[in-house]
């Protein structure tokens, strides 16, 4: 009680002022139609702004679920497109066998651990053998190369990132089809190096670098990045600096790509090696 009395004594002027302001405001709003309508409109506008802010806040907290949903839908659409594309090239096929001509499968996953500041970087996804993952499956971020699965448990997989000194990928210049070997030199997470491109080849800054499909891991035409610089090296080849399309600092949702005919291809190729 003493604290309450002390508070009233200390702020009595302010309290009296607020009470009188409230009475004046009430009299003004009830005795004059114009002021009444303006006040009502003001409160409605304030309420509308508050509701909008609350709605935006709710939408923000639902972005994670929306992103997961979009990722699942993208993977499903990719698989459907793959089936339809393969079927279009056939004169005859069974309508009951929906995967007869399908070459690749796409499965969405979420990155739950990631590194970019080491010489040999890996990231972990939340799917494993029980969800159909296996070693040597390709991993893409959207339409861009991210890495290759190198280990699986029941519910998790470890992926060798493109930002790994041991990572190698067959890549080509989209403009002319010349291909070489893409690797990371460990210096910058935003760039990789494309080598083995002959010096007689014509290309320029900004040209697209994509996968060749020769490795039986990544499909043909997956985006890697663009040419950001180049220099001539010994042996009549270019050393091309590639600005990577994947931002590994923001890697979150990915697609795991499985080649349904990889084993058949590799077994055949082994016979002639």
State the 10-residue block means of pLDDT for the chain, 273 residues long. Answer: 68 76 67 60 66 61 57 59 50 39 85 96 96 95 94 97 97 96 95 95 96 91 96 88 96 93 88 86
The superfamily in CATH containing domain 169-247 is: Rod shape-determining protein MreC, domain 2 (2.40.10.350)
Rounded CA-CA distance 160/151 in Å is 9
Those residues with Cβ within 8 angstroms of residue 242's Cβ, 6 or more apart along the chain or in another chain: 171, 182, 191, 192, 193, 194, 209, 224, 225, 226, 227, 228
Q: Pick from 62, 112, 133: which is nearest to 253 by CA?
A: 112
* pLDDT at site 96: 37
Fold of 66-164+250-270: Thrombin, subunit H (2.40.10)
Q: Where are the chain's structural domains?
A: 2-61, 66-164+250-270, 169-247
Whether the full predicted model's pTM is greater than 0.85, yes or no, is no
């Amino acid at each position: 009680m003493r604290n309450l009395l002390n508070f009233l004594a200390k702020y009595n002027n302010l309290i009296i002022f607020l009470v009188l302001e409230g009475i004046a405001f009430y009299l003004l709003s009830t005795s004059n139609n114009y002021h009444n309508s303006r006040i009502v409109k003001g409160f409605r506008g304030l309420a509308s702004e508050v509701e909008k802010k609350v709605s935006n806040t709710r939408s923000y907290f639902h972005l994670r679920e929306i992103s997961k949903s979009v990722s699942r839908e993208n993977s499903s659409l990719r698989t459907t497109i793959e089936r339809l594309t393969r079927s279009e090239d056939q004169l005859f096929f069974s309508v009951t066998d929906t995967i007869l001509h399908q070459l690749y499968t796409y499965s969405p996953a979420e990155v739950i651990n990631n590194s970019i500041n080491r010489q040999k970087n890996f990231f972990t996804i939340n799917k494993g053998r029980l969800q159909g993952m296996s070693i040597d499956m390709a991993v893409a971020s959207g339409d861009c190369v991210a890495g290759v699965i190198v280990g699986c448990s029941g519910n998790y997989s470890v992926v060798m990132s493109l930002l790994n000194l041991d990572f190698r990928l067959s890549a080509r210049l989209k403009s002319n089809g010349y291909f070489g070997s893409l690797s990371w030199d460990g210096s910058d997470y935003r760039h990789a190096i494309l080598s083995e491109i002959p010096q007689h080849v014509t290309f320029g800054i900004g040209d697209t670098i994509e996968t060749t499909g020769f490795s039986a891991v990544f499909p043909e035409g997956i985006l890697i990045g663009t040419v950001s610089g180049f220099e001539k090296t010994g042996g009549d080849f270019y050393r091309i600096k590639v600005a990577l399309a994947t931002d590994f600092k923001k890697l979150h949702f990915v697609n795991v790509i499985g080649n349904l005919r990889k084993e058949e291809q590799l077994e055949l190729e082994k016979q002639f090696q």
